[in-house]
């Protein structure tokens, strides 16, 4: 009987060790996948760990923000120009000719 208890105790300890090792290996694997795919890591309490912003990073964010604003303004301008081109292309020839003649008449009157 004591040998059976000893075998069960050793088997239990081995089982707990295998489960703990599996949990640790799973955590390592999950962390590796998070790092590989750019997900934020979490602290012990489940709060995300964010990298600290250095002066260089802040300057880069400011430059990218400025570039983003410039690009948005350029896209807006291009949308307006494209709208005018679409209007001209889809406009009937009669109406376009009529507008050109009207502008010529206005210019001659001045």
Q: What is the pLDDT of residues 85-106, one digit of tens each?
A: 888 777 666 677 788 888 888 8
Does residue 71 sit in the same domain as residue 43?
Answer: no
Residue 7: CA atoms inside 13 Å, Cβ hemisphere, count?
4
Q: Residue 69 belongs to what domain range?
A: 53-110
Between 47-51, 58-62, 75-79, the lowest mean confidence (pLDDT) is in 47-51
Residues 6+ apart with CB under 8 A from 35: 41
Does residue 45 sit in the same domain as residue 69?
Answer: no
Q: Given pLDDT bands bounded at 50, 70 and 90, which one contains residue 73?
A: very high
Selected residue with higher pLDDT from 62 and 36: 62
Give the global pTM: 0.39
Total structural domains within the chain: 2
Residues 6+ apart with CB under 8 A from 17: none
Q: What is the mean pLDDT of the chain?
A: 84
Does residue 42 sit in the same domain as residue 82?
Answer: no
Selected residue with higher pLDDT from 46 and 31: 31
């Amino acid at each position: 009987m004591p040998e059976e208890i000893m075998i069960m105790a050793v088997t239990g300890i081995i089982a707990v060790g295998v489960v703990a090792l599996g949990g640790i290996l799973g955590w390592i694997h999950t962390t590796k996948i998070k790092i590989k795919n750019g997900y934020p890591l979490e602290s012990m309490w489940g709060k995300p760990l964010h990298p600290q912003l250095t002066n260089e990073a802040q300057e880069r964010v400011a430059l990218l923000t400025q570039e983003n604003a410039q690009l948005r303004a350029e896209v807006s301008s291009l949308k307006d120009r494209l709208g005018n081109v679409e209007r001209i292309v889809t406009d009937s020839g009669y109406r376009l000719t009529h507008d050109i003649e009207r502008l010529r008449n206005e210019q001659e009157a001045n």
